Amino acid sequence: MSRYDLSFEAVVELLDGAPRYRADQLWEGMYRRYQEPGSITVLPREVRARLEAEPALASALREERRVSADRGDTSKWLLELHDGARIETVLMHHPRHSTVCVSSQAGCAMACSFCATGQGGFTRQMSVGEIVEQVVLAARASAESGRRLDHVVMMGMGEPMANYANVLDAVRRIVGDIGIGARHVTISTVGVVPGIRRLTAEPLQVNLAVSLHAANDELRDRLVPLNRRYPLSKLMQACGEYVEATHRRISFEWALIDQVNDRAADAAELAALAMPLKAHVNLIPLNPTPGYPAVGTPPGAVRAFRDRLTSYGVNVTVRKTRGQEIAAACGQLVVETPVGLKPRRGVAAQTAS
Ligand code: SF4
């Protein structure tokens, strides 16, 4: 249990005897000003001293390392959780907005063949507080550099839909308490159909991103093993129901892999899935990982693939790879083991860069 796992009622109880507005001040300091409970100076000194010693208000994240790239516009944190599990969080500043890419599980059990996190295996689920505190960390760092964090993507380590209840509780706090617009929050999935169905029924205006990577079952079975459980016909049916019920735009993520999923036939198959749903396609050249031999599609072939999709009428964006040199790009989040420490079970021993 950590500070962002507590409900407001639990905070009121912690401040036993203090007027209720003190709980409001503590909540506001933690969620809107990203402050340490002991540094919220509107609270009386003796209350702050008590809060500093309160185990339930401990931080969930211990920063092991922060590295930066792109002239400081991309930062990656290596964070240790209370039990020694480790995760990564990435903050990206763009000219008009700032986005944090949040981990939802320590490791991942989905075993996508091209993904560094998947190659490292699953460690454990993350709690609501552990997920929310990554956003607070990035919001504080953004504020310190004069920026405002305004986008959250659940695309870090883990499959968000495999930790559905905690991810959704975290999203409610990110939207309701931190104040980031629901339309600026994106939940990704490699195709957990029951999760998409549950999200369809939520009264939340968040975005859904489906990491597709292949548009026929034969190839997708190889790239995304979960496809054997939820093949494309079932996945597309769930996506269709989501779009129809929510009237929200869905996006398909496509890591372009040289000679694997970047051929003319792949573009045609992808267009055939995207067009009926009016899905937006995001193309991201694959980042190199040590456990997967293929490389990303070269720039000329990326443009050709994009143009082919456009000719079919698909809305498509080529995403810039950010932070490749610090292994902070998509499919690269894997906890490296610092010199002198043994790798933990399920955690890869080296970085993907
Ligand atoms: S791509 Fe996503 S779901 Fe697949 S192994 Fe990597 S983190 Fe897990």
In a domain, residue 276? The reply is yes
Closest CA to 209 of 280, 315, 302, 103: 280
In a domain, residue 155? The reply is yes
**Mean per-residue pLDDT for 49-75?**
93
In a domain, residue 102? The reply is yes
Residues 6+ apart with CB under 8 A from 131: 102, 103, 104, 166, 167, 170
In a domain, residue 341? The reply is no
Domain count for the chain: 2
Which pTM was predicted? 0.91
In a domain, residue 277? The reply is yes
Distance CA 41, CA 323 (A): 37
Ligand 1 closest atom vs CA 116? 6
pLDDT value at 242 more than 50: yes
Q: Which residues pair with 188 in a beta bridge?
A: 209
Distance CA 90, CA 105 (A): 14
- pLDDT tens for 64-74 read 999 998 888 99
Which stretch of 17-21, 145-149, 314-318, 332-336 has the lowest confidence by average pLDDT?
A: 332-336
Distance 13 CA to ligand 1 centre (A): 39
What single string gives the DSSP state of each residue in 303-328?
Answer: HHHHHHHHHTT-EEEEPPP--GGGT-
Whether 51 and 89 map to the same domain: the answer is: no
Whether 204 and 236 map to the same domain: the answer is: yes
Whether 35 and 80 map to the same domain: the answer is: no
Whether 188 and 112 map to the same domain: the answer is: yes
Q: Residues near ligand 1 with C-beta < 6 Å?
A: 108, 110-112, 115, 117-118, 157-159, 190, 211, 331
Distance CA 187, CA 98 (A): 17
Distance CA 118, CA 157 (A): 9
Which of 88, 103, 105, 110 to mutate to test ligand 1, by most ligand atoms within 8 A of the CB atom? 110
Distance 220 CA to ligand 1 centre (A): 13
Q: Which residue has the higher pLDDT, 61 or 116?
A: 61
CATH number at residue 274: 3.20.20.70
Q: Which residue has the higher pLDDT, 338 or 348?
A: 338
- pLDDT tens for 89-121 read 999 999 999 999 999 999 999 999 888 888 889
Single residue among 40, 56, 72 that ends a domain in this structure: 56
Alpha-carbon distances, residue 186 vs 37, 99, 183, 268 (angstroms): 29, 10, 8, 26
The H-or-E segment that residue 80 falls in is strand 74-80
In a domain, residue 352? The reply is no
Whether 128 and 106 map to the same domain: the answer is: yes
Closest CA to 88 of 259, 326, 335: 335
Whether 73 and 48 map to the same domain: the answer is: no
In a domain, residue 344? The reply is no
Distance CA 98, CA 151 (A): 6
Whether 93 and 189 map to the same domain: the answer is: yes
Whether 39 and 141 map to the same domain: the answer is: no
- pLDDT tens for 138-147 read 999 999 999 9
The H-or-E segment that residue 65 falls in is strand 62-69
Whether 48 and 176 map to the same domain: the answer is: no
CATH number at residue 24: 1.10.150
Whether 100 and 209 map to the same domain: the answer is: yes
Whether 294 and 241 map to the same domain: the answer is: yes
Which of 113, 114, 117 to mutate to test ligand 1, by most ligand atoms within 8 A of the CB atom? 117
In a domain, residue 181? The reply is yes
Distance 286 CA to ligand 1 centre (A): 13
* Strand duo 280-285 + 98-101: pairing: unpaired
Whether 29 and 119 map to the same domain: the answer is: no
- pLDDT tens for 260-298 read 999 999 999 999 999 999 999 999 998 877 788 888 999
Residue 293 sits in which domain range? Answer: 59-326
- Supply the mean pLDDT for the chain: 90
Alpha-carbon distances, residue 38 vs 8, 59, 103 (angstroms): 17, 12, 27
- pLDDT tens for 20-36 read 999 999 999 999 999 99
Quote the pLDDT of residue 353.
21
- pLDDT tens for 143-188 read 999 999 999 999 999 999 999 999 999 999 999 999 999 999 999 9
- pLDDT tens for 207-233 read 999 999 999 999 999 999 999 999 999
